[in-house]
Amino acid sequence: MHARHDEPVLLADVAATSRALAATRSRLAKRALLVDLLGRTAPDEVPVVARYLAGELRQRRTGLGWRSLGSLPAPADEPSLEVVAVDAVFEQMAGLSGSGSSTRRLALARDLFAAATADEQHLLRGLVTGELRQGALDALLLDAVAEAAGVPAASVRRAAMLAGSTEPVAAAALGAGSPEAAEAALAGFGLTVGRPVRPMLAASAPDVAAAVAGFEGREVVVDAKLDGIRVQVHRDGDEVLVVTRSLDDITARVPEIVAAARGLDVRSVVLDGEALALDADGRPRPFQETASRSATRDAEIAAGTTLTPFFFDVLHVDGRDLLDAPLRERLAVLDAVAPAYAVERVVTSDPEVAQESFARWVGEGQEGVIVKDAEAPYEAGRRGSAWVKVKPRHTFDLVVLAVERGSGRRTELLSNIHLGARDPESGGFVMLGKTFKGMTDEMLAWQTRRFRELEVADDGWTVTLHPEQVVEIAIDGIQRSPRYPGGIALRFARVLRYRDDKTPAEADTLDTVRTLGGLRAQPAGPDAGT
C-alpha cells in the first residue's frame, strides 16, 4: 500500500478524478483512477472522498434547493478547498432549522461556491443535485478499495453489505497499514446486532410458473408478498432498533414494532420483514396508510393506524449468526422465535401448489408471492436469483421527469406527471408517458410541494424537474408507440405511491419495462395514456 497522506485531499483532486471517470467507459481505467485517488487519501478523509466519488454528499438532506444553485458566484482561480472542510460546511447547512435558516444556508452555499474553482463548482453542483450519482460506481469503488488495500474484492464487498455502507469499510481497509491488517479489519465486519445490514433483494418473474421453473424442480419456499414497508428489526436485551429498506432509523415512530420485538423470548435477534396496517378483520389496509406512518419525509404520524410486523427471515439469534445458514434452517429458527409474526408460506416443488397459494393470497389482499431457494444463504445487499417475486399486476418504479399544472379541481396543483425509465447506456431517462391518475388529495398536495423543490424550469404550463423522485406506477400493459422516444407507451398508467426509499439509479430500465410489460401479449389498441 502506498502511504502518501501528507497533503490533504483537495476538492479539486476529487473533481479531477470525477471528470476523468466520466470521460472513460473502460471499467479498468475507472478503477485505476479510483485506486490512485484512494491511495492518496488519509483515513479521516476516506469517508468523504468515497461518498463524493459515488456522487453523493454524506448528508442525506442539506435543505439546498436546485433553484438556489441557479446563479452562482464567479469561480475561484486556484483550488483551496479541503474535502473534510467542505463536508463540514454541508453538515452545518443540514443542521440549520427555524426562521432565517434558508438565508443562512444560502450564504454558506455562496461562500463555498465562491471558494471553488470552475471544476469544483461543477462537482459541488452535481453532488447537491444528485446528478453525479451512479449506482454502478459504488461497486467499482469497492473494487478499487480492495486493490488499494491489497485485499480480495469479495472481502470488501461482503464487509460493505454487512456494514450497510461503503465508507466505514473503505476507511478500515485503507487505514489498516498492511494487506494482512486490512483483511483482519474487514473480517471484523460480521453481523453486529444493532448495526443494520443491506437487505437482500428479489429478482422478478412474469408469473408463478416461470418463477418456480427457475429452480429446476427443487423444493422452494413460496412466501406471501406483503405490501407494506420493509423493516429490519434488531434487538439486544431491551435495546431495539427498527430500520427501513434504505436503512433509515424509524424506531421512534413505530413503538408497536418495538414492543413486539421486546415481547419475543430471546436475548438478541435480528429479523427481516414487512410492516403494514391491517383492518379489524386482518386484511391489509391501503398502502398509503402504512406509508404515512413510516414516511421519513413527512414526519407526522397518522392517528389511529397501527402497524403490524410480519417477519420472513432471521439473521441472528442469541449470539448465533445465521447469514450463511440455508433459508430452510433460518425459517425453522424464525418459527421457533417469532411464530406469531411469521409471514405465511408453503414449501413445495409443485408449480400448481405455488400457483394456488398465489391466487389465494392475492385474493386476500396481498401483493403477490416471493419464491425463494430453500438452500440459499442470506445475501445482504444482493438482488440475486435466490428470491424471485411475482405480482399479479405490472408495476414499475419510474422517475418523474416533469409535471404539468392541473386544471379544474386541480388548478393550483401540479398534477400530470411525465414518467421516465432508466437508460443504463446514457445514464439518463427515457420518457414513457404521462399520468394524472391514482393520486389522492394528500398525494397531490405532497407532490405539488415536492416538485417545486426539484424544479429546474417552468414554462408556465410544464415544470421540468430534476430527475430525482421515484414513483411506483401500475399499468395494464405496454404497446408500441412512435409517440415516445423509447418506442413504447404505457397503457392506463396510474400512480400507486411515491418511493422515497429508492434512488433514481434503482428505477426500472427501459428493457425491464419492455420485457415485464409483456409487450408481445398486448394487442395494439388506442393509447390509454393521457
CA neighbor of 223 nearest in space, from 317, 330, 381, 382: 330
Binding letters toward ligand ATP, positions 297-316, x by CB under 6 A: ---------------x----
Q: How far is CA 499 from the centre of its chain?
A: 9
The distance of closest approach from Cβ of residue 298 to ligand ATP in the complex, given in angstroms and rounded to an integer, is: 19
DSSP letter assigned to residue 45: T
Measured in Å, how far apart are the chain's first and last C-alpha atoms?
58
Q: Which stretch binds ligand ATP (CB under 6 A): 22-30, 222-230, 285-293, 333-341?
A: 222-230
Restricted to residues 454-493, the positions that interact with ligand ATP (CB under 6 A) are none
Q: Which stretch binds ligand ATP (CB under 6 A): 70-78, 183-191, 225-233, 300-308?
A: 225-233
CB of 368 closer than 8 Å to CB of 389: yes
Is residue 167 marked as binding? no
| 225 is an interface residue for ligand ATP by CB under 6 A | yes
The distance of closest approach from Cβ of residue 524 to ligand ATP in the complex, given in angstroms and rounded to an integer, is: 28
> CB within 8 A of 514, min separation 6: which ones?
478, 488
Binding letters toward ligand ATP, positions 234-263, x by CB under 6 A: -----------x------------------
| Distance, CA of 375 to CA of 354 (rounded, Å) | 18
Question: Does residue 437 have an active-site annotation?
Answer: no
The residue from 160, 173, 226, 342 that contacts ligand ATP (CB under 6 A) is: 226
Is residue 90 marked as binding? no
Q: Cell 439546498 maps to which residue?
A: 64
Is residue 245 marked as binding? yes
The distance of closest approach from Cβ of residue 389 to ligand ATP in the complex, given in angstroms and rounded to an integer, is: 5
C-beta closer to ligand ATP: residue 226 or 493: 226
C-beta closer to ligand ATP: residue 123 or 371: 371
Instruction: Quote the Cα angle for 494-495-499, to 5°.
Output: 150
B/e letters for 96-111, b = 16+ CB within 10 Å, e = fewer, are eeeeeeeeebbebbee
Q: Which stretch binds ligand ATP (CB under 6 A): 80-88, 223-231, 405-413, 416-424?
A: 223-231
Restricted to residues 311-340, the positions that interact with ligand ATP (CB under 6 A) are 312
Helix axis angle for 46-53 and 167-175, nearest 10°, is: 130
Is residue 312 marked as binding? yes
> CB within 8 A of 99, min separation 6: which ones?
none
Is residue 215 marked as binding? no
| Distance, CA of 158 to CA of 152 (rounded, Å) | 10
CA neighbor of 450 nearest in space, from 494, 413, 419: 413
| Distance, CA of 207 to CA of 489 (rounded, Å) | 22
Q: Report helix, strand or coil for 417.
A: strand
CA neighbor of 261 nearest in space, from 221, 300, 289, 234: 234
The residue from 46, 132, 278, 370 that contacts ligand ATP (CB under 6 A) is: 370
CB of 513 closer than 8 Å to CB of 480: no
C-beta closer to ligand ATP: residue 49 or 474: 474
Q: What are the two backbone dihedrals, phi and then psi, of residue 509, each rounded to the nearest 5 degrees?
A: -90, 165
**Binding residues for ligand ATP, how many (CB under 6 A)?**
13
| 271 is an interface residue for ligand ATP by CB under 6 A | no
The residue from 30, 389, 422, 466 that contacts ligand ATP (CB under 6 A) is: 389
Cβ-based neighbour number of residue 118 at 10 Å: 12
Partners of residue 276 on adjacent β-strands: 308
The distance of closest approach from Cβ of residue 284 to ligand ATP in the complex, given in angstroms and rounded to an integer, is: 11
C-beta closer to ligand ATP: residue 105 or 225: 225
Binding letters toward ligand ATP, positions 412-451, x by CB under 6 A: ----------------------------------------
The single residue of 225, 372, 391, 434 carrying the catalytic annotation is 225
Could you list the residues known to form a binding site, using ranges: 223, 230, 245, 274, 312, 383, 389
The catalytic site residues sit at 225
- Which residues contribute to the site for ligand ATP (CB under 6 A)? 199, 201-202, 223, 225-226, 230, 245, 274, 312, 343, 370, 389
